[in-house]
Structure 1
Amino acid sequence: MNQHATGHGAGDGDRTPNRLIDETSPYLLQHAWNPVDWRPWGPEAFEEARRRDVPIIVSIGYSTCYWCHVMERESFEDPSVAELMNRDFVCIKVDREQRPDVDEIHMAACQIYTQATEGRPSGGWPLNAFLNPDTLEPFLVGTYFPPEPAYGRPSFKQLLQNVATAWGTQREEIAAQGGRIAALVREQL
């Protein structure tokens, strides 16, 4: 892969690319040098999450999305956030232009989840969903999460810590919530 195609190169120092480096999507290539161990959507990522018994984070966006770039800069480039993501989750990056099917399902889940938790449906990009690795059902879905608590939302780091803790202590509740969201998505689509 031509390093100039990713927008990174000689100035990257010790950085090494993640699993997106061989992808063709400009959006995925923009994230190929993040310290997050991003993987493309597919069975290898799902199997790894099941093997490790950790939830999946699916982050969906597109190359010209302003808030996608903001969240990348604030969170996905932060080594401490990347460490949490890599340790406690399998991380998948999706280009909505390349996989509109994946985007449609998770956007519907986001609108259902925010209707239930915030009293109104909302959505947008980046779209960040936490999935049960056994069912691939989303159990928590949102859009932009700030690096510090703001806009009535926890920081992204707090959210990661809370989800990882809940995964270890509230698995049945998480599975049930994912099942409810998935059933409503199936009704809607």
Structure 2
Amino acid sequence: MKKEKLNKYLIPVFLCCFLGLGACGHKYEQSKTLTEYSKRDNKELTGLYFYPTTIRMLAKILGDENGQSLKEIEKARLYFSWSDEEENVRETLKSFKSGIKEEGFEMLMQMNSSGNKIDIFMLDKETDDYVIFVDGEQGTFVLEILGNLSPNAIRDISKLDMNKMMDIFELEAPKDENTTDTLQTDSL
């Protein structure tokens, strides 16, 4: 009798806890398309990942002493290409766009700026997910931002000094040349 009473209460409590934890796990989930791509071995695009502490540090470096301008961004990831094989990169971007559309992302904005074509997609959920495609003269990249970006946050971000960020991430394409160390000795 006691067992039946115990099971009668434990099962619903356990079920509620399980559903609650399951819902929490999906709150911070990024695009499945981009996540699956990041797990692949052969990739045309290189990825950089940004987490809350890195994002706050980046905001401070860019001129926000309190680190508040990017506080609504929980995670971000940037995919870019070193490859000269534009056809493969464009195919990858095409698959990204079709994949995120299948996930429910909607086109938020499309614009051309300084020779760059910019497409912004958004998935509206408790914590919004933005995927930004930039294709232009200076390169091609995809930026995913997980967070709720208010108009104030966008205004604060636009005030940051992006030249400092370019200095921080002085990334150069890997050289294909095979270099070897040589040892020179002077004879006595």
TM interval, shorter chain, is under 0.3
Answer 1 or 2: which has greater helix percent: 1
**Higher strand residue share:** 2
Scaled by the length of structure 1, what TM-score is found?
0.25
Question: Higher Cα Rg: structure 1 or 2?
Answer: 2
TM-score, normalization by structure 2: 0.25
